[in-house]
Amino acid sequence: MRFFSKKKTPKDDYLINEINKTKLAMEAAYSNFENVVDPDLIDCCIFELNAVQKRYKFLLKQAKAADNNLSLNP
């Protein structure tokens, strides 16, 4: 039995794509952080990790808000 089917919009596709790209960027940032030894590069990696994590949280909030809007507007 099927209750509701959610239609994906171009905005949904964009958010999913951006979340996936950000996850890859976060993996790369963690990898870079684990492999650097120069203190200046360590600082740079920390800043990069913080920026990517904040972007990821922002995109997840956007996706959650979009999902809630779909649930409220049948």
Which CA distances in Å does 56 have to 2, 24, 39?
32, 11, 26
Break the chain into its structural domains and give their ranges. 10-69
Q: Taking the model in full, what pTM does it have?
A: 0.77
**And the tokens for 37?**
């030894």
The C-alpha atoms of residue 5 and residue 10 are separated, in whole angstroms, by: 16
Instruction: End-to-end CA distance of the chain: give it in Å, rounded.
Output: 18
> Among 74, 68, 63, which residue's Cα sits nearest to residue 16?
63
Low-confidence ranges of the chain (pLDDT < 70): 1-7, 69-74
Whole-number pLDDT of residue 66: 82
Whole-number pLDDT of residue 2: 47
Whole-number pLDDT of residue 19: 95
